[in-house]
Structure 1
């Protein structure tokens, strides 16, 4: 005599399968980071030298970076190489996340999610590159030239690393503003008109965020706040374009719907 399956067991089976797949995706992402890290570790000192170049190029003659802790010469390049490995693996990590959630999405959601994921990765990299090539030279030139006379600039390598990683992350996240603005408009949480009216508050908020995320000087705050506001305007622009596209599609679909209704009435 066959037994009827327990509904609880049937409900738990898909959950267990999802958890197993999630574990598999996470392990692949961690493995990718580990492989990249092992490949880059031999060049860890070179990577640190590259990241430190904006400051090293501006140090006064006879000055150099120093290590004030015993393990800093090893830990600072090690930590930087690990962070670089994570940054480099972001596209693959997001691909694993996408492969996990994609089966549960509709076709229109998939068509929107793929460009958003790709553009968010590119914008994050663009923010980090902007910090390295634009912000760092201006910022370090200001810091190295404003010190009191007789004070020799000799920055600790670990303190420098923490400082630049904070700025890399701040600028990378700040460059995601167009994506966040577009998603707010596309989801219906707000409208283009509403966000346009809040421009003065957004402008002020950008400088407040710049003050919180950057060192206490006007240059670094402005170099973060101004791009943030410009990227906010870019998000509004794409929001307008998306709204116009939806309106055009709806206008084109309406005559087709009417013609199909009239055809059905004629056949009846």
Structure 2
């Protein structure tokens, strides 16, 4: 009993160490984002054509902080993934270690790819549609607060959503997920994704559909890749059992 308690304490200490490293990495990337926040701000302004308004002095700090936070999240993802891998590494078999290690750089690039998809495809199309709704009746003039809140809502969720296929593959490889059981929950997953799309997009039908469809496609890709990994894993288990049977 004492050995089990010591082992549990060791695991908690190891987890604490990994969490501290991830938090420190987040803070460092946050500081880096604040250092270059003006350059990032100008990049996100794109071809808007005029300066954004602010309604109070504190709005400037709010905007700078949120931009830096997105940078920090993007930079921390590979660090956090590496720490998670180090934590679960002792429980993995040699082949599983090699496979899961390859997920770490892929997680970062998928997150960046999701942000790019949201920024270059979803955001401008919805923005253009909403502006055109009142083009003949109103003059478009945005506060920096509203503009960047809308921008973050249209991009950050896709950065996270693009991780779904990789996460499903990782969990399947680790034996924590069975894709054939997930398929039975498809209708609930669709409902959840539609609700998420309605919460992060502007309150009109076209925006909801524009966000919901990519999320549902990512879910289906996740299930498909999870099935492929699961089948390969089952084949490997069968081969190992056959080899062991022949040796015996």
TM-score with structure 1 length normalisation?
Answer: 0.73
1:210 aligned residue: 197
Where in structure 2 are the equivalents of 1:56-75 lying within 5 Å? 56=48, 64-75=51-62
Q: CA RMSD in A?
A: 3.5
Quickly say closer, same or farther: Cα 1:36–1:179, change in 2 above 3 A.
closer
CA distance in 2, matches of 1:25, 1:201: 34
Asked if residue 127 in structure 1 is aligned to residue 114 in structure 2, the reply is yes
1:265 aligned residue: none
2:163 aligned residue: 176
Asked if residue 85 in structure 1 is aligned to residue 72 in structure 2, the reply is yes
Quickly say closer, same or farther: Cα 1:118–1:42, change in 2 above 3 A.
closer
CA radius of gyration, larger in: 1
Given the alignment, which residue of 209, 215, 227 partners 1:222? 209
Given the alignment, which residue of 17, 21, 31 partners 1:28? 21
Quickly say closer, same or farther: Cα 1:217–1:25, change in 2 above 3 A.
same
- Say how many residue pairs are matched: 247
Superposed CA deviations along residues 81-137 of structure 1, whole A, max 9, x for unmatched, are 233123222212322333334334444553453344444433322211110011111
Residue ranges of structure 1 left out of the alignment (5+ in a row): 1-6, 58-62, 262-268
Comparing 65-74 with 21-30, which one deviates more in the overlay? 21-30
Quickly say closer, same or farther: Cα 1:188–1:26, change in 2 above 3 A.
closer
Residue ranges of structure 2 left out of the alignment (5+ in a row): none
Quickly say closer, same or farther: Cα 1:245–1:26, change in 2 above 3 A.
closer
TM-score with structure 2 length normalisation?
Answer: 0.77
Offset, 1:51: 1.8
1:192 aligned residue: 180
CA distance in 1, matches of 2:189, 2:167: 13
